[in-house]
């Protein structure tokens, strides 16, 4: 067991809500496994408090942060540098505080998601994928799906968030000049059901189901009744979300967000420590 001493350095999770988060359990396990003298805490953080908390962490000689909803874009204004992948996604989920005090932002969501597919033995090459939500996580995942040669990405988003959807489409089609076909559809039951008929995977990249497990991107199990798609709900909690329940009621393969949490968490840890671990090492030791 790791014990805090006078040289222990702090790493935090910032966002709201964070009381459900499994990241402290995961990261503190990784630090012990890798022999690193760090302590990871979750700090419920509103947008209006972010600047003060960042300043406090710098003054405390913290090593870094994870950033979650709703701060993945808000954090950008406080960073000194961002890596090239993050410039594309426009969102940050990991911050490294350098010895010089500079804040460097990264996004491990995309690579974490793709790595989780490998762990789950899922191959999205030349496949049609539905991504519900084009915010921070959805954008990072959409970019990596295109880089991983998905044949088609259908961005499912509310009309009021059309600018986010269009932004992701422009990145993939214009900035990346990807050969992956990208379309945008409005988020409703009829559209989702129709598109799922020949889709390989449905990804919920929204926060629906996080605060209230009965909230869902579809209104009934019937929407999933005419598909064989894998259902990937990035939301995770101690209770099954309604989307996972609907998937199970239709005998569809599915997962919550824990595999992605593990894989992106390993990538974040590598940025802070320079060391890595395998998903198998964690799965066999932790019950997340």
Binding site feature residues for NADP(+) = 133-137, 234, 257
Among residues 47, 58, 72, 147, which one is catalytic?
72
Spatial separation of the C-alpha atoms in residues 202 and 236, rounded to whole Å = 16
- DSSP-assigned letter for residue 25: H
> Strand 128-132 to strand 152-157: parallel, antiparallel, or no bridges (unpaired)?
parallel
Please give the Cα distance from 241 to 256 (Å, whole number). 8
State the first-to-last Cα distance of the chain, in angstroms, to the nearest integer: 18
Residue 138 CA to its chain's centroid (Å): 8
52: Cα separation from own chain's centroid:
25
- Alpha helices, DSSP H, located in the chain: 23-34, 50-59, 84-89, 109-119, 136-147, 162-170, 189-196, 242-249, 258-273, 279-283
- Which is nearest to 106 in space by CA: 265, 270, 262, 268? 268
Looking only at the bridges linking them, the beta strands covering 230-233 and 201-204 are parallel
Q: Is 164 a catalytic residue?
A: no
Binding-site annotation, residues = 21-23, 68, 93, 109, 133-137, 234, 236, 257, 264
What is the C-alpha separation between 67 and 221, in angstroms, rounded?
32
Question: Given strand 254-255, what is the order of strands in its sheet?
Answer: 181-186, 152-157, 128-132, 201-204, 230-233, 254-255
Q: Output the known binding site for shikimate.
A: 21-23, 68, 93, 109, 236, 264
Active site members: 72
């Amino acid at each position: 067991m790791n014990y805090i001493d006078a040289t222990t350095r702090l790493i935090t999770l910032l966002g709201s809500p964070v009381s459900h988060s499994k990241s402290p359990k995961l990261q503190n396990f990784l630090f012990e496994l890798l022999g690193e003298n760090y302590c990871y805490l979750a700090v419920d953080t509103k947008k209006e408090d972010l600047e003060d908390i960042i300043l406090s962490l710098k003054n405390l000689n913290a090593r870094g942060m994870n950033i979650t909803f709703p701060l993945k874009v808000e954090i950008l204004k406080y960073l000194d540098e961002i890596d090239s992948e993050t410039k594309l996604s426009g969102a940050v989920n990991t911050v490294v505080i350098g010895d010089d005090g500079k804040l460097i932002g990264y996004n491990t969501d995309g690579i974490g998601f793709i790595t989780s597919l490998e762990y789950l033995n899922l191959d999205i090459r030349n496949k049609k994928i539905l991504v519900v939500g084009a915010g921070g996580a959805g954008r990072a995942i959409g970019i990596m799906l295109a880089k991983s040669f998905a044949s088609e990405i259908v961005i499912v988003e509310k009309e009021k968030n059309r600018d986010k959807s269009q932004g992701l489409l422009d990145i993939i089609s214009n900035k990346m000049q990807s050969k992956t076909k990208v379309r945008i559809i409005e988020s409703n039951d009829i559209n989702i059901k129709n598109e799922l008929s020949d889709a390989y995977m449905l990804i919920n990249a929204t926060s629906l189901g996080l605060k209230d497990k009965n909230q869902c991107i579809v209104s009934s199990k019937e929407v999933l009744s005419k598909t064989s798609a894998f259902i990937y709900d990035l939301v995770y909690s101690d209770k099954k979300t309604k989307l996972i329940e609907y998937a199970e009621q239709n005998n569809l393969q599915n997962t919550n967000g824990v595999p992605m949490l593990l894989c992106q968490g390993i990538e974040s840890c590598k940025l802070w420590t320079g060391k890595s671990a395998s998903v198998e090492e964690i799965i066999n030791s932790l019950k997340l």
